[in-house]
Amino acid sequence: MRHLALVAVLVVGLTAPAGAGFEDGMAAMARGDYATALEEWRPLAEQGNADAQYNLGLMYYRGQGVPQGYAEAVKWYRKAAEQGHAFAQFSLGGVYHTGRGLPKDYAEAVKWYRKAAEQDFEQAQIVLGMMYSYGSGVPRDPVQAHMWYNILALRSPEEERRGYAKARDALAAHMTPGQIAEARKLAREWKPKAQTAAAIPKASSPRRLPGMPRNTFRDIQESLAALGYDPGPADGIPGPRTGAAIRAFQRDHGLAETGEASADLAERLGVERFKAERKQSEAGRTKQGGK
C-alpha cells in the first residue's frame, strides 16, 4: 500500500508554455475560473499542443470545470505522453498503477513511469525505486531499485539525498557483491534523455532549483500564503497555484515575472512577511489602545 499512497500524493501540477492563451489559462486556473481555463486550453489541445492536452487531462481527472471523467482524462494524458510530455507520462503511469480510468496494468505503469524517469522526472524515479524494491506489481528487482535510489541520492538536494541513500543501502545489505556492482555501474552510466519542449515544466509551474531543499520551497509557499496569495498547499511540491502566486508577488513588488523559486525570492518573501506581521501587530495594539 505504501507505493499506492505515494502515487496519490505525487499528483503533479499543471504546466504552461509561453503564450498569452496559456498564461490566461493559468491565471484563470489559479483564481478558480475553470471555465475560462477550459476555453483557453481546449482549442490548443485539439490542435496537438502537448501542454494543453496534459492540462485538459488533469482538469477531467480532478473534475475541475467539467464532469469528472477518468476515461476523458486518460485520452488527453495519452496524447500528451506520446509526444514525450514527462508530466503526462507520469500521470498515465499512475492511472495504470491505480486502475482509475483503466484496468490496472503494472507493466504499462512501469513503461510510462520509466519514460518519465528517463527524462529525469524525480517522482517517477521514486515510484520505480519503490516498486522494484518491494516487488509491488512487478517482479522484485533489487538491482533496478538500487540503481534508481542511487541516481536520486547522487542528484538530489542534501536533505533528500540522505533518505534515498538510506533506502539504497538497506537494499545493498541483502544484495550480492555482483548485484551491487551491476547496480552501481547502471547508475554511473545513466544519463537523462534530452527533454522535449513538452516535457519541460515552465515558469508557471516552477520546479525547485537544483540544490534547493524541499523545506525552502515549502517556506516560500507558506510566506506567499501569509501575504495573501494562494500558492496551494505548503507541501514543497511545485504546482500551478504556486507558480501563479510567485508571479503575482513579483508583479506586485516590481520584480521580473520569472515565476522562479529561488533563494533570493525566499529572502524577499521573508522580509515582506516580517513587515506585514509587524504592521498587523501594531494595528492590533492601536485597536486595543482605542478601546
Amino acid at 19: G
With beta carbons less than 8 A apart as the criterion, state whether 45 and 39 touch: no
> Which pLDDT belongs to residue 20?
59
Residue at 211 is within a domain: yes
Residue at 195 is within a domain: no
Query: Who wins on pLDDT, 109 or 15?
Result: 109
Please state which of the ranges 18-32, 81-95, 126-140, 182-196 shows the lowest mean pLDDT: 18-32
Please state which of the ranges 12-16, 260-264, 282-286 shows the lowest mean pLDDT: 12-16
Clarify whether residues 178 and 212 are in a common domain.
Answer: no
Q: How many CB atoms lie within 10 A of CB 96?
A: 23
CATH code at position 207: 1.10.101
Clarify whether residues 169 and 217 are in a common domain.
Answer: no
Clarify whether residues 180 and 217 are in a common domain.
Answer: no
Residue at 198 is within a domain: no
Residue given cell 501575504 in the structure block: 227
Residue at 59 is within a domain: yes
Clarify whether residues 147 and 223 are in a common domain.
Answer: no
Residue at 194 is within a domain: no
Q: Which pLDDT tens digit goes with each residue over 1-18?
A: 334 334 433 344 555 444
> Which pLDDT belongs to residue 182?
97
Clarify whether residues 166 and 70 are in a common domain.
Answer: yes
Nearest-Å Rg of the Cα atoms of the chain is: 21
Counting the structural domains of the chain, the total is 2
Clarify whether residues 96 and 155 are in a common domain.
Answer: yes
Clarify whether residues 229 and 264 are in a common domain.
Answer: yes
Clarify whether residues 105 and 168 are in a common domain.
Answer: yes
Clarify whether residues 79 and 150 are in a common domain.
Answer: yes
> Which pLDDT belongs to residue 163?
87
Amino acid at 165: A
Residue at 95 is within a domain: yes
> Which pLDDT belongs to residue 108?
94
Q: What angle do CA 48, 125, 88 make, to 5 degrees?
A: 15
Q: Exposure pattern of 171-198 as b/e (b: 16+ CB <10 Å)? A: bbeebeeebbebbbebbeebeeeebeeb
Q: Which pLDDT tens digit goes with each residue over 200-256?
A: 444 345 555 545 677 788 888 899 989 988 887 887 777 667 877 887 888 888 777
CATH code at position 183: 1.25.40.10
* Domain ranges, residue 176: 2-189
Clarify whether residues 154 and 236 are in a common domain.
Answer: no
Final residue before a domain boundary, out of 189, 223, 238 = 189
* pTM, to two decimals: 0.67
Q: What is the mean pLDDT of residues 88-113?
A: 92
Please state which of the ranges 14-23, 164-173, 202-211 shows the lowest mean pLDDT: 202-211
Residue at 197 is within a domain: no
Q: Which pLDDT tens digit goes with each residue over 38-75?
A: 998 999 999 998 988 999 998 999 898 999 999 999 99
> Which pLDDT belongs to residue 286?
66
> Which pLDDT belongs to residue 132?
94
Q: What is the mean pLDDT of residues 112-138?
A: 91
